[in-house]
Amino acid sequence: MKRTSLLLALAASALLSACIVVPAHPAYATGPVVVVDTPPPAPYAEVVPAMPYPGAVWISGYWGWSGGHHHWVPGYYERPRPGYRWEPHHWENQGGRWHLRVGGWIRL
């Protein structure tokens, strides 16, 4: 029994070591830089669910890039950050190549 508990504890700590926590910064971007030749699909009409608590901020979904193609990353609610505004993810065309600009909290 002790050995099983020890193995489970080791497995859990190995899995948790892959977790990343991103602190609130004046502005931040996470993830790798994405530059592709394929434009994103037309905007997806997301159904925004009811606000889960007063003041919740809707972080809209966006077209991400993975495995050689665009995929929809759904939106979600997040707690507001006083003194910041949310800058959404978006794609920019620069010379025929598409750059994903990652969203983040921007200091006002």
| Domain boundaries defined on the chain | 27-107
The predicted pLDDT at position 18 comes to 41
pLDDT at residue 1 tops 90: no
3-state SS, 28-81, equals CCCCCCEEECCCCCCCCCCCCCCCCCCCCEEECCEEEEECCEEEEECCEEECCC
Share of the chain above pLDDT 90, in %: 66
Share of the chain above pLDDT 70, in %: 70
Q: Which two tokens stand for residue 59?
A: 């972080």
- Return the SS3 of 95: coil
pLDDT at residue 49 tops 90: yes
| CA nearest to 63, candidates 86, 87, 34, 85 | 34
**Residue 40 to residue 101: CA distance in whole angstroms:** 12
Q: Which two tokens stand for residue 106?
A: 């921007």
Instruction: Categorize the per-residue pLDDT at 100 as very low, low, confident or very high, splitting at 50, 70 and 90.
Output: very high
Instruction: Categorize the per-residue pLDDT at 4 as very low, low, confident or very high, splitting at 50, 70 and 90.
Output: low
**Whole-model pTM?**
0.66
